[in-house]
Amino acid sequence: MSTQVEGQRKPVRIWVDGCFDMMHYGHANALRQAKQFGDYLVVGVHSDAEIEKNKGPTVMKEKERYAAVAACKWVDEVVEDAPYLTQVELLDQYDCDFCVHGDDITTLADGTDCYQKVKDAGRYKECKRTQGVSTTELVGRMLLMSTEHLRRRPSGPSTSHPTTNVSHFLPTSKRITQFANQREPKPSDKVVYVDGGFDLFHVGHIEFLKKAKEQGDYLLVGVHEDQAVHAVKGSNYPIMNLHERVLSVLSCRYVDEVIIGAPYSVSKDVLEKVYNVSIVVHGSTSIDKDIDGSDPYRLPKDLKIYKQIESPLGSLTTDTIVSRILAHRRLYEERNRRKAEKALIEAAMEEEEKRKAAQK
């Protein structure tokens, strides 16, 4: 544990662990809040085998999940293959003062609290869970392949499957500010611009953004509005709405600033009215034409500031993730059903704890 050393305070080290399957802004917000408790954030990520045993099958493979957590800007260290049960000995092994978790109960396969041992040792703190998003809920959207989450009128639970409720994320200026960086580019900085839908933000996006950042000093990311993504991609895309996608991009350590609702075709305003863009970068994946059939990168190409770079994980796309879900629909429907049942049990346990506390 952290102690006073020669008159100087030793940095407070925090432990957080989890599955981080389909790393989303809810995960990132939990890590942001956890980091505020101290100075150095160590994040343990469970293996596929551990999650399968206690929770069910994962969507993202363990190496993909390890990389996604490592790219979150509030994370200082990642511990791979962390045990599902959090014990005091684990905190001591990584010199962590305490563990932080959301205000929801997480249980092992047998229903026992994963954090009871560190709670009993007085080395447990809670942060507020981000409402309106979860891996289960995102899987539910893909099982429905519905864009109800983009509509104005709430529609309630799905009639086709009771565990695929549609969430309606309510963005606030405070949340955007919490995720945003404060750094402005210096006059000498080379500003790099990339754009995209960044739907179901994943390690393929992350590795591309990392490579793009290497092309300059300051990375500006344009996130397309829902209507633009839907017009170009068709089907039921985007899975996540604009503000959900913006928060996911902002949580990435390689991103300096985001244009919210950037035009699909790179315009003169994009190149000049936010910052003076030096280079526009696109990956090696195919370019979808704008709805009028034009090349969205025609202007930067004419200005000779367009550059295509290799997408390190070009085979991993939003379509790939959706395909993983739909190819194993029954498996994930059963996973969501079990998760819903487990949530009811955990809610009952939480109410019982509150009742007991009120009686003391």
Instruction: Please give the angle made by the CA atoms of 123, 124 and 130, to the nearest 5 degrees.
Output: 160
179 touches 258 (CB < 8 A): no
Residues of the chain whose pLDDT is less than 50? 2-3, 5, 152-167
Going through 145-302 in order, the beta strands assigned E by DSSP cover: 191-196, 218-224, 257-262, 277-282
pLDDT of residue 149: 54
pLDDT of residue 166: 42
Encode pLDDT of 137-156 as tens digits.
787 777 776 555 555 433 33
249 touches 234 (CB < 8 A): no
pLDDT of residue 159: 35
Place of tokens 């950042």: 213
pLDDT of residue 154: 37
Q: Say if strands 77-80 and 306-308 run parallel, antiparallel, or are unpaired.
A: unpaired
pLDDT of residue 158: 36
261-278 exposure pattern, b = at least 16 Cβ within 10 A, e = fewer: ebbbbbeeebbeebbebb
pLDDT of residue 43: 98
Q: Which domains does the chain have, with CATH numbers?
A: 4-127 (3.40.50.620), 135-168+328-359 (no CATH), 173-318 (3.40.50.620)
Q: Kindly give, in sequence order, each residue whose CB lies less than 8 Å from that of residue 94, ignoring residues fewer than 6 positions away.
A: 13, 15, 42, 77, 79
Its pTM stands at 0.81
pLDDT of residue 163: 36
- Residues in the chain, overall count: 360
Encode pLDDT of 160-169 as tens digits.
333 334 445 6
